[in-house]
Chain A
Amino acid sequence: MARVAITAPSRAKKGEVIEIKTLAAHVMENGFRRTQEGTLIPRDIITQFACTYNGVEVFRAELYPAMAANPLIAFTTVAAESGTLEFKWTGDNGYSATQSVTLTVT
């Protein structure tokens, strides 16, 4: 079960810049570590993150093995209209997680 957490305001004034913090629970195995027997642990990371605001993409990121475990990504967006913000993470071994929050713009 993919667990994610979003910190975003639930209401904002129109035109206000809001900060969104996202966190996904993931080991982000970088593919360079070895077990005690010397076998390489295969890479298992989140590779893509995207945020859409009422269906329009406002932020996208590509992640690499140099991201820390449980990747945190914080960014900003302009509160344009009331609606939903959808977050999507995709990664190796078919990893996929989605989360959405509602934003009321006054």
Chain B
Amino acid sequence: MTSRRRFLAVVGGALAASQATAQLDPNIQALRRAALAKAIQKVTEGKPMRTGKVKLQVPPLIDNGNTVPLSVAVDSPMTATDHVKAIHVFTEKNPQPYVLSAYLGPRAGRASISTRARIADTGQVIAIAQLSDGSFWQDSVSVVVTLSACLEDGLI
């Protein structure tokens, strides 16, 4: 017959084990920041980023993180010699920092794209534009998310 002590040890151990798997890494913020920095580094290859030229539009208060309309416009004449080569969008708090990488050229006429993203948590959204002269420009917006994406029913 199971003694009270043995029962508690077994049940307590099982509870602790299930909690351990349900918990996120305590350093999750640092890990995600590092992942974001790495993703940006991969795009810019260490070149300096300047603020300006890029205009990122995201609603500052997001009710539903599952569909967040966002648009990026870059101030560029879009000629053969001076145009935007790529626009990258990143988020700070998602499990992966990437959202979208768009590649355009002088035939785009205007450097403006819009899309819909998923945003997991309150934090920064960053848009980076790569120009044909090799320079990088960025814009970031802080958003507040009330209903997070990736955390709907089913997820622990």
Contacts and interface: CB of A to CB of B under 8 A. Distances in A.
A30 B103 contact: no
Interface of A is mostly: strand
A11 to B, nearest CB: 16
Interface residues of A, number: 32
Interface in A31-88: 32-36, 38, 53, 56, 58-69, 71-78, 80
A66 B117 contact: yes
A80 B118 contact: no
A30 B148 CA distance: 14
Given A33-B154, A74-B114, A64 B66 contact: no
Size band of the interface chain B makes with A: 35 or more
B99 A35 contact: no
Nearest to B91: A66
A69 B99 contact: no
B122 interface: no
Contacts, number: 101
B108 A77 contact: yes
Contact of A78 (B100, B109, B117, B154): B109
A72 B116 contact: yes
Interface of B: 66-68, 71, 91, 94-96, 98-105, 107-110, 112-119, 149-150, 152-156
Given A33-B150, A58-B104, A65-B95, 8 more contacts: A30-B118, A53-B107, A64-B99, A66-B96, A66-B117, A69-B67, A74-B113, A78-B109
26 contacts: A18-B109, A33-B152, A34-B156, A53-B107, A58-B105, A59-B103, A61-B100, A61-B101, A61-B102, A62-B100, A62-B101, A66-B100, A66-B117, A66-B118, A69-B66, A72-B114, A73-B114, A73-B115, A74-B114, A75-B104, A75-B108, A76-B108, A76-B109, A76-B112, A78-B107, A78-B108
